[in-house]
């Protein structure tokens, strides 16, 4: 029984999450030659202050990118 864990930033619609679950299920069943009934997908959503990249929260990274963009635009 394949179990797939996905960690996403909050904000995606239920429809998008359903679509990705269908696509992943199809890929797993095709690749592993297993029944779709055996595929389990767990989606965990994280807020911008709960998800870190290179020691910074996504909120910090977004603010840094926003400041750099404004600086490039001369604002």
**3-72 carries CATH number 3.60.20.10:** no
Q: How far apart are CA 66 and CA 72, in angstroms?
A: 10
Q: Considering the chain, what percentage of its residues have pLDDT values greater than 90? A: 84
2 is catalytic: yes
Q: Is 2 helix (H, G, I), strand (E, B) or coil?
A: coil
Residues 6+ apart with CB under 8 A from 66: none
According to DSSP, residue 40 is labeled E
Kindly report the pTM of this predicted structure: 0.78
Spell out the domain ranges in the chain.
Answer: 3-72
Exactly one of 2, 34, 43, 58 is catalytic; which is it?
2
pLDDT tens digits, 14-48: 999 999 999 999 999 999 999 999 999 999 999 99
């Amino acid at each position: 029984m394949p179990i797939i864990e996905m960690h996403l930033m909050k904000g995606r619609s239920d429809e998008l999450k359903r679509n990705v679950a269908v696509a992943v299920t199809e890929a797993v069943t095709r690749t592993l030659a297993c029944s779709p009934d055996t595929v389990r997908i767990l989606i965990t959503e994280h807020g911008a202050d709960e998800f870190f990249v290179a020691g910074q929260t996504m909120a910090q990274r977004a603010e840094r990118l926003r400041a750099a963009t404004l600086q490039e635009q001369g604002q």
